[in-house]
Amino acid sequence: MTRISIAVAAIAPILGLAACATDSGAGDSAEGRMVADEDAIPYLEAAATGEPRTCLMTTQIRSTRGLSDGAILFRTSGGDLYRNELPNRCPGARRDAAFSYRVPTSQLCRGEILRFFDPTSGMEYGSCGLGEFVPIEDPDEVDG
């Protein structure tokens, strides 16, 4: 089994991260979610460029970023962007935190559990399941 830890930011707030809620927020629009910061909005609103994928190869993931309590951005080594639309609200996803996961193969797939933690103390904040990986256009490359 592979264990991977990814730091989304260098420092995470120790207080204020609750365990992920399992309310029926799966159908909420991006506007109804708690957004990480204004820079995240273009990625939340970016158009899909293809069909959602159920998995990404872990060796291809180059960076991640929490966009909201309902979405995480994954950038691959080829420069492709994928917005993972979480099936339930996850406060840890929108905070400056780190997360880890364990996968039985070299793929990170829908349904896998992310465990959010403080990168300094190692204290866990909660866990959240992944949704599908939606390929999106890069807002920085879209002609305005």
User: Which DSSP string corresponds to 62-106?
Assistant: EEEEEEETTEEEEEETTS-EEEEE-SS--GGGGSS-EEEEEESSS
Residue 26 lies in a domain: yes
- Cβ contacts of 16 within 8 Å, gap of 6 or more: 95
Name the pairing type of β-strands 113-117 and 61-68: unpaired
Residue 45 lies in a domain: yes
CA neighbours closer than 13 Å in the CB half-sphere of residue 138: 9
Residue 60 lies in a domain: yes
3-state secondary structure string across 41-56: HHHHHCCECCCCECEE
Residue 127 lies in a domain: yes
Residue 7 lies in a domain: yes
Residue 34 lies in a domain: yes
Residue 144 lies in a domain: no
Tally of domains in the chain: 1
Distance CA 90, CA 128 (A): 6
pLDDT in single tens digits along all 144 residues of the chain: 555 555 443 323 322 333 333 333 333 444 556 777 788 999 999 999 999 999 999 999 999 998 988 899 999 999 999 999 999 988 777 666 788 999 889 999 999 999 988 888 888 878 999 999 999 999 988 755
Residue 28 domain boundaries: 2-139
Residue 126 lies in a domain: yes
Kindly state the DSSP code that residue 136 receives in the 8-state scheme: E
Distance CA 29, CA 39 (A): 18
pLDDT of residue 4: 55
